[in-house]
Homo-oligomer: A and B are copies of this chain.
């Protein structure tokens, strides 16, 4: 990921001048503010603003006049209780705003999370940068044989090289043609003064789905954790998981108590269905339960064993 000089300067200017505020402030977030955290080959996540901290969650849960409890320990107990019992509204009381640069096919997964505010860079209005996501070879994997929406073994180096060459060439050619259609250089000067440029809103359709776009994305802490639970999960596609993991790091900096509770009660938690729970009770009572005697479907039995770290 590289910034232009103008971008780097804008960021440093935004960081140059602290202001006094009476609002809740998190030093670890101040250290992060505005600076891009690199993700994939050309993407990033930047924290642009934040509202609230761990104490703000407590303060809202208590509808208090001041800054929550006196002791951090009490805050932690309450936050863990709220998390465990799905009292979600206090977590809506903290808010974060990110600037994200990401490939279009990742943006299309991301946008399915509807309870957020989004301002995307407009390719109707402006020209997209010449940047496309090309996976690193170790992330090229064959279609999974067991999971229709997953990856299997890695490709051989020769095969990977052939795939990457093709991805690179198609993206580059489509982007070159996009510029030809626009009849603009990347510096917005006409290539051919005798030919009008095609409307931007039309020319963009010639781009491939790995071209990078960018947006401002703002959501509250509750919805952010919901996003992370689904997208930092091992079943999420690697490319969006890379963003989720970068944001998990932001979460740790922003609301460390909430982040710990989130890991314990959401990210690393396991839900057992009523039939699974019945098996569990029998097993704890000393019975040897098998796939056949479990009453579970084959698929559930496998998931059940995996959750307990037992061999299938």
A interface residues (Cβ-Cβ under 8 A, vs B): 3, 6-7, 9-11, 13-15, 17-25, 30, 33-34, 48-52, 56, 59-61, 63-67, 77, 80-81, 84, 86, 89-90, 92-93, 95, 97, 99, 103-105, 107-108, 111-112, 114-115, 117-122, 124-126, 133, 135, 139-144, 148-153, 155, 159, 163, 166-167, 170-171, 173-174, 177, 180-182, 195-202, 204-210, 214-216, 218, 220, 230, 237, 263-265, 268-277, 280-281, 283-284, 297, 299-300, 303, 307-310
Contacts and interface: CB of A to CB of B under 8 A. Distances in A.
Given A142-B198, A155-B196, A117 B104 contact: no
6 contacts: A20-B21, A59-B216, A60-B216, A89-B117, A114-B115, A124-B149
Contact of A18 (B21, B48, B67, B230): B21
Contacts of A118: 89, 112
A176 to B, nearest CB: 10
A302 B10 CA distance: 35
A66 B166 CA distance: 36
